[in-house]
Amino acid sequence: DVKVTQSSRYLVKRTGEKVFLECVQDMDHENMFWYRQDPGLGLRLIYFSYDVKMKEKGDIPEGYSVSREKKERFSLILESASTNQTSMYLCASSSRGLGNNEQFFGPGTRLTVL
Amino acid sequence: DQQVKQNSPSLSVQEGRISILNCDYTNSMFDYFLWYKKYPAEGPTFLISISSIKDKNEDGRFTVFLNKSAKHLSLHIVPSQPGDSAVYFCAASGSSARQLTFGSGTQLTVLP
């Protein structure tokens, strides 16, 4: 059974804290993605990576950074958390193929920044 | 600028009837389309997809229709069941892209 796992289901942090969200996939996928989901806005792409140590900005990268040191692991970093980063964060992965891009999602991390 | 739009935030349907969820797109480079289903506190799961070389794809109770000239696709669920109650996201991709562009989602409620 293929899996994408995320380090926490729920997380509460204070404004200004550094936050790490981790994602691991066991499908040997090349591509990994971080989204945030907000009511009425759907899924918005923050960053993605198509190979180890490679990263590309998505639609809303401001306030975030990422790290991909190993193929199976993709980390999202909030350098200084702010209240407007309270959201559901979803990690996904897909195989290298372009176009036919079914993505597999983790269960999500509900982050609250106080 | 939303390239993928789901204009109905919510839809309620009686059990056993047809559910029709709609999606419009603006980017003519999109040539692969997917529908995902999401339950609360879970990640989205893939439901069905369609390539632009087709105008219909069917999988059990789920059928996706694509009208390229109108840049419109729809998901039909027949018959609808209470377990189908979830948020449905439409997504699109171009053949040279790795990423998907998602719509804002439609909350489907199937009433028993």
Q: What pLDDT digit, counting tens, does each position of A35-46 carry?
A: 999 988 999 999
Backbone angles phi, psi at A47, to 5 degrees: -150, 155
Residue appearing with tokens 């919510």: B10
Q: What is the mean pLDDT of residues A60-79?
A: 96
**Residue A20 and residue A86: Cα distance in Å, rounded?**
14
Please report the pLDDT score of residue A39 as a whole number.
Answer: 87
Q: Which amino acid is at A8?
A: S
Q: Which amino acid is at B104?
A: S
Instruction: Provide the percentage of residues in chain A whose pLDDT is more than 90.
Output: 82
A19 vs B98: which has the higher pLDDT: A19
Of B42, B100, B105, the CB nearest to A101: B100
Residue appearing with tokens 């993709």: A74
Q: Which of B21, B3, B6, B23 is nearest to B76 (CA)?
A: B21
Please report the pLDDT score of residue A97 as a whole number.
Answer: 65
**Residue B9 and residue A70: Cα distance in Å, rounded?**
38
Residue appearing with tokens 């189908």: B84
Of B34, B89, B97, the CB nearest to A42: B89
Q: Which residue of B has its CA nearest to A3?
A: B43
As beta bridge partners, residue A78 has A19
**Residue B109 and residue B51: Cα distance in Å, rounded?**
28
CB B95 to CB A94 under 8 A? no
Q: How confident is the model at residue A98 (pLDDT cuts 50, 70, 90)?
A: low
Q: Is residue A92 within 8 angstroms of chain B, CB to CB?
A: yes
Q: Which two tokens stand for residue B49?
A: 């997809």
> For residue A99, is pLDDT > 60?
no
> For residue B60, is pLDDT > 90?
yes
> For residue A94, is pLDDT > 80?
yes
CB A98 to CB B34 under 8 A? no
- Residue A42 with chain B: CB contacts under 8 Å: 6, 89, 102-105
Q: Which residue of B has its CA nearest to A104?
A: B45
**Residue A109 and residue A6: Cα distance in Å, rounded?**
7
Distance from CA of B44 to the nearest CA of A (A): 6
Q: Which of A111, A11, A31, A19 is nearest to A71 (CA)?
A: A31
Contact B100, B51 (CB under 8 A): no
Q: What is the mean pLDDT of residues B76-97?
A: 93
Evaluated on CA atoms A105, B3, B89, A111, the torsion sign reads positive
| Exposure b/e, A15-36, CB count within 10 A at least 16 = b | eeeebebbbbbeeebbbbbbbb
Q: Which two tokens stand for residue A101?
A: 């891009």
| H helix and E strand count, chain B | 0, 11
CB A40 to CB B98 under 8 A? no
Q: Is residue A100 within 8 angstroms of chain B, CB to CB?
A: yes
